[in-house]
Structures are given as C-alpha cells and as structure tokens.
Amino acid sequence: MNPFVFHTPTRVYFGEASATSCGDFILELGGSRVLLVSDAFLEKSGMLAPIIESIVAATGNPPLIFNDVPPDSDISCVNRASQLARANQCDALVAVGGGSVIDTAKVVNICLTFGGELMDYQGLNIIDRPLLPLIAVPTTAGTGAEVSFVAMVKDHDEGKKLMFGSPYLAPNVAVLDPLLIVSLPAKLTAATGIDAVTHGIECFVASGTNSVFTDAICLEALRLLFEFLPQATVDGTNLEARGATLAASCMAGVAFTNSGVGITHALAHSVGAKYGTHHGMTNGVLLPHGMRFNLATTSTQYARIARFLNFTNGGSDAEQAQILVDKVENLLKELKLPRTLGELGIPELTADNLKELVDMASSDPAIMFNPKEASDDDLLQLLKGAY
C-alpha cells in the first residue's frame, strides 16, 4: 500500500434539530462574542432564530449578525463582515448557509486572526496557526465546505476566484441538521447535490494522497447520493433523503479535502469565475466530459465504483466504466440539470474567451490532482464539447 496521510480536524454532529446546540459548542470552544455569518434569505426565513436563541442562552450575548453574503461571495463582503466583527470584539464565528456563507466565514476568520492584507494569505498552506473557533452549519448539501480545508471568494476587479487552503481553515465543528435543508428548492437541491457527486467521483480517481480511507468514504457517499439525491429533489420534505444527502456531501468533503478533485472542478472554477454560474450546476455540465477525458486512465477505478453501486453485472473494466458515465448522464437528466454550457446561459465562446478560461483552468490547483495530464488544447476541446 502506498504511504498516505489522512487528516480530518472537524468534529461532525448529525441530527434533526442539532443546530440548536450551536451555543453549547461555542461555549465549549471558549467563545463568548459570536459573529453569525449568513444571508438575507436565510435570516428572513426564520431559520436562524433557534440558533441565535441557543447562542444567547449559552453565552449571555446576542450574536452580531452579518446577513449580507451574496451567492459566490467576494472580497468586499469579507471586508465588511470583518469590520463588524472587529468593531464588536468577536471571538468566535458561526456560519449558517451554503458554501458561499461558509467560505466567507472562513476568509473572515483569516482577517480577524492575522489582520494585514488578505492577499498575503492566498494560496496553499500559507496559514500556519489556528484561527478563531468556527462552527459551520450547512443549509445546502453539496459543497463539503463545512469540513474542507479550502475557501474561495471572488475578486471582482481581477474577474477570478481567490483560493485559500490550509488545514487551519477547517471549521472546528460541523453541525449537520437535515431540518435546515428542507426549504432548499428542487433546482438548488439538484445543483448542490451534483457538486457532491463530482467531489466523490473526482476524488476517487485523483492523484492526491489517495488512500483506502478516502476510497471508502467516496464509495459510500456516492451510494447515498445516487440513491437519495433524486428523492430529495422530488420531495424536499423527505427527511431521510435530506439527511442522507447532507451526510454524503460532508463525507465527500472529507474525502476531497484529503485527496483532491480534478479537471471538472478546474474548468468549473474558471467558468464560474468568468460567468458567475452556480458552482454545482457548472460541475454537472462538465462532469461527463471530464470523466470521458479521464476514461482510459481511470477505467479500473470507475469500474470499481460501478460495481459498488450495483450498476453492472460484469464485463470488462472499460465496459463497466462506460456504464458509470452513462449513469451519471442519466442522473443529470433525472435531476433536470442543464446539460451544456449554452443551457447554463453562457454566451457563445469566442477564441479570446476560450483562451481566458483555459488559462484559468490550467493554473487552478484542482488540475494538479487530475489523474491524466491535460494540455491547453485538451482543456479547449473539452470546453468546446461541453458548449
């Protein structure tokens, strides 16, 4: 067996109404003045109320609420939230929301702990010591941001996403409460869920420090997602399906943060940064193309996934791997997700636009872990094929 490192610093709590324990977790982590990061919709929906109540009951202080996180957060949002936290001497953070909210809280945490210029902390493993306590409460089931070592926020001036990566960015506690996902509309359930499917598939074949640990986690996460994501999308009140997708997306997050993702994510990051498309939905469009690109190199692993999911009754690895690609295509159809970059709303790709996307994707950290090397021309052809 190859040497590997597996590291997951986040304590995970799962259960209906578990979010009402946030106050106790903050107390245990030594926090007393909480910055609660969320978005306007979630605050208006009343979802934050029991969490705020639990924080007040435990700490005696009402949290400072920053509810202004847009989908795909940006530097100005991070700066505004950091100012609010500094002005009120906050010593802990609770993030309640999707990946955009959780990533914002992670980057705010860098600002609060280190001060100075945010840009100085961009990149991998620049952050080298613990940050303030952070509790992440996901309200979407897809990104795995509640356990991952990375955070991404947009730099509008540069038209690209900034990536921060370090084990110290992982939240101290992730609280998985299926009740908070019930209100997620079908379209976003499908879009966020396919992000988790992409994490599972890309991580299983990634060239990072892949291990038996991440293999096992990816397989079970994919089993849960293929079984329960369609159900959660059709009936959002199905708590068993909501819980299964929430657990699976967290598991896939633990896996990819250890072993990496690949070409689909590299391209989705560049398309998302340039056109503002939803991360999960963009991954959904690109995933079959990324899988086909990798197919010859990864057929043994794809076949293993296909067998684990009971998709095949034998055949060669190449045949079983192809069945997995077909099943992914069927899942995308069943979830009624866009199938082309055009359907995602992207205007016709000019040569200049394509070059810009290829340049961004070829320097994206995700591409480092793709099992097959991709030239600029490979990336270009893949984008053209997905249009």
Ligand X SMILES: NC(=O)c1ccc[n+]([C@@H]2O[C@H](COP(=O)([O-])OP(=O)(O)OC[C@H]3O[C@@H](n4cnc5c(N)ncnc54)[C@H](O)[C@@H]3O)[C@@H](O)[C@H]2O)c1
Residue 79 as a binder of ligand X (CB under 6 A): the answer is: no
Q: Which of 160, 242, 279, 307 binds ligand X (CB under 6 A)?
A: 279
A 10 A CB-CB count for 116 gives: 9
Residue 183 as a binder of ligand X (CB under 6 A): the answer is: yes
Residue 260 as a binder of ligand X (CB under 6 A): the answer is: no
Q: Which of 280, 288, 338, 371 binds ligand X (CB under 6 A)?
A: 280
Residue 202 as a binder of Fe ion (CB under 5 A): the answer is: no
Print the binding letters for residues 85-124 with ligand X: x by CB under 6 A, - otherwise: ------------xxxxx-x---------------------
Q: Considering only the stretches 149-157, 212-220, 303-311, 376-384, report the one whose residues sit in contact with ligand X under the rule CB under 6 A.
A: 149-157
Residue 103 as a binder of Fe ion (CB under 5 A): the answer is: no
| Structure letter (DSSP) for residue 20 | G
Q: Nearest to residue 283, comparing CAs of 337, 232, 242, 335?
A: 337
For 102, the 3-state DSSP assignment is helix
Calculated CA dihedral for residues 91, 97, 102, 107, nearest 10 degrees = -70
Q: Which of 39, 43, 146, 195 binds Fe ion (CB under 5 A)?
A: 195
Q: Considering only the stretches 76-84, 119-127, 177-185, 240-248, report the one whose residues sit in contact with ligand X under the rule CB under 6 A.
A: 177-185
Touching ligand X, residues 13-72 (CB under 6 A): 39, 41-42, 71-72
CA–CA dist 272, 166 (Å, integer):
22
E-assigned strands of the chain?
A: 11-14, 34-37, 64-66, 92-97, 123-124, 134-138, 150-155, 160-165, 173-176
CA 43 to chain CA centroid, nearest Å: 22
Residue 188 as a binder of ligand X (CB under 6 A): the answer is: yes
Closer to Fe ion at the Cβ: 133 or 144?
Answer: 144
**Residue, CB closest to Fe ion:** 195
Exposed/middle/buried for residue 200 (C-beta within 10 Å: 0-12, 13-18, 19+): buried
Number of residues that bind Fe ion (CB under 5 A): 1
Closer to ligand X at the Cβ: 101 or 291?
Answer: 101
Print the binding letters for residues 152-191 with Fe ion: x by CB under 5 A, - otherwise: ----------------------------------------
285 binds, among ligand X, Fe ion, none (CB under 5 to 8 A by kind): none
Residue 145 as a binder of ligand X (CB under 6 A): the answer is: yes
Phi first, then psi: what are they for 124, rounded to 5°?
-95, 130
Contacts (Cβ under 8 Å, ≥6 apart) of 116: none
Closer to ligand X at the Cβ: 62 or 185?
Answer: 185
Exposed/middle/buried for residue 10 (C-beta within 10 Å: 0-12, 13-18, 19+): buried
Residue 91 as a binder of Fe ion (CB under 5 A): the answer is: no
CA–CA dist 261, 265 (Å, integer):
7
Whole-angstrom Cα Rg for the chain = 20
Q: Which of 26, 127, 137, 184 binds ligand X (CB under 6 A)?
A: 184
| Binding site residues, ligand X, CB under 6 A | 39, 41-42, 71-72, 97-101, 103, 139-140, 142-145, 148, 150-152, 180-181, 183-184, 188, 192, 195, 279-280
